[in-house]
Homo-oligomer: A and B are copies of this chain.
Amino acid sequence: MSDDKKLTTRADNFSEWYNELVLRSELADYSPVRGCMVIRPHGYGIWERMQRALDDMFKATGHVNAYFPLFIPESFLSKEAEHVEGFAPECAVVTMGGGKVLEERLVVRPTSETIIYSMFAKWVQSYRDLPLLYNQWANVVRWEMRTRLFLRTMEFLWQEGHTAHATHDEAEEETRRMLGVYREFMEGYMAMPVITGQKTNSEKFAGALRTYACEAMMQDNKALQAGTSHNLGQNFAKAFDLSFQNEQGEQAFAWNTSWGVSTRMIGGLVMTHGDDAGLRLPPKLTPIQMVIVPIWKTEEERAATVEMAKRIADDLGSFKRPDHERIRVHVDDRVGVKPGAKYYHWELRGIPLRMEIGPRDLASNTGMLARRDTREKRPISFDTLRTELPVVLDLIQADMLAAARARVEANTIRERISYDKFKEVMDGPGAFVYAGWNGDPAVEQQVKEETKATIRVIPDLEYRSPEAPTTCMVTGEPAKYEVVWARSY
């Protein structure tokens, strides 16, 4: 598809805008395998930066990486009753290997609780062996019928944390800590504001005691569950005999947690920041932070502007500088492509900064700097790039988060709302609606059927309304919880 064809606009068709944008910005492509996507270099470059940032945060909180098998014996899944019920229908199953039919069929991991806790059981004897704080970067497979690039694919890339603790409280603390790490990452790196809180029983992970989640609001006012953290209690420990001798010399079952985020976050990045001209990538996660477009008419001018552009790029990206001062710059010196087409190309791909360097700029030692997020343009001296650009990039990062926060705020309803009005909102523009709920799963189910909205979370304290709702939005009965309703991906 040619770059100069206009994107479908968000207002016209948000879903079509998303698909077109992911394909045309070359984040990903459809593959010949139904439901599986190819993550192209521009998309994978974002994922690499997400991985690096998260991995550093995991290590700073005491976790180590390891790797467990892709295949899980079918019998393992069945050992935890809720778990198998949740995952068995979604499994890809290997029945043949090395030309023979297998005695026991192997499931391609949809998640690794079973295989990992069976190994933990082998390694843990005493309280001295606890806690185990593990993480795994891996691919997983869930057989999905309706797939969307990044948001719901048969195979996806993720990290799954798995830990074992001596007590319930320590496990709960870990579950909450990692939810906090996710929030810090999503706001600090993705510039994507989230609300955190607990899932209702009907929405929790298959096999968990409690599930917590980060929920982000996309530009169509639907929620994206961007990360989850589970307190698994002793369910898996009992299923896999993960027990230990405690300080009192008694045998006890361990307490587990698991937590994960995936390439789905890239979809969240697109739907949080993209506009009708393309992606807008936050400086901390973009593979390229600034593109330089040299502008020329004559061959002489070409040589001079390209040379200056490359000198600047080399200097800004030099490994002689400390990490945080190094800037990832690309020079677009393609011959036979007009400057306007180059601008369009890099806007579509969301590169935060563009600097144009024309022949006259060489004399004045000044380029023209354009911000992708605000589209502001201003001259900038080559002499101050080193000191100014890191500041500009930090500012863009902060501005993007602030803009996203303002959008979420504008589309959040906290005032008391009738159920009729709620239906109108959900059928119309959508919103995050904070409202009272009587705690009855039947009411939750009714709202889901009538409006396609679900309880995203019982929000954490800091997100709750100053005055808690006193009545259930649907039944008028006394409210047990304040909850956040929204349609979701």
Seen from chain A, the residues whose Cβ lies within 8 Å of a Cβ on chain B are 29, 31-33, 36-41, 44-45, 47-48, 64-73, 76, 88-99, 105-106, 108, 115, 118-119, 122-123, 134, 138-139, 141, 143, 145, 155, 157, 322
Cβ–Cβ < 8 Å partners of A76 in chain B: 32
Minimum C-beta distance from A314 to chain B (A): 13
B36 touches A69 (CB 8 A): yes
B32 touches A118 (CB 8 A): yes
A33 touches B106 (CB 8 A): yes
Checking B33, B41, B105 against A73 with a beta-carbon cut-off of 8 angstroms, the contacting residue is B33
Cβ–Cβ < 8 Å partners of A67 in chain B: 38-39, 44, 47, 157
Number of this chain's copies in the complex: 2
- Could you name 28 residue pairs across A and B whose Cβ atoms are closer than 8 Å? A29-B119, A31-B68, A31-B119, A33-B106, A37-B69, A38-B66, A38-B67, A39-B67, A44-B66, A45-B65, A47-B67, A67-B157, A90-B98, A91-B96, A91-B97, A92-B94, A92-B97, A92-B98, A92-B106, A93-B95, A93-B97, A95-B95, A96-B105, A97-B143, A98-B143, A98-B145, A138-B139, A139-B139
Cβ–Cβ < 8 Å partners of A69 in chain B: 31, 33, 36-38, 155
Cβ–Cβ < 8 Å partners of A118 in chain B: 32
Cβ–Cβ < 8 Å partners of A92 in chain B: 71, 94, 96-98, 106
The docked-state distance in angstroms from the alpha carbon of A460 to that of B44 is: 36
B99 touches A89 (CB 8 A): yes
Cβ–Cβ < 8 Å partners of A134 in chain B: 41
Cβ–Cβ < 8 Å partners of A38 in chain B: 66-69, 119
Checking B68, B89, B98, B155 against A71 with a beta-carbon cut-off of 8 angstroms, the contacting residue is B155
Cβ–Cβ < 8 Å partners of A72 in chain B: 33
Minimum C-beta distance from A279 to chain B (A): 17
The docked-state distance in angstroms from the alpha carbon of A119 to that of B31 is: 7
B65 touches A41 (CB 8 A): yes
Cβ–Cβ < 8 Å partners of A45 in chain B: 64-65
B90 touches A93 (CB 8 A): no
Minimum C-beta distance from A216 to chain B (A): 23
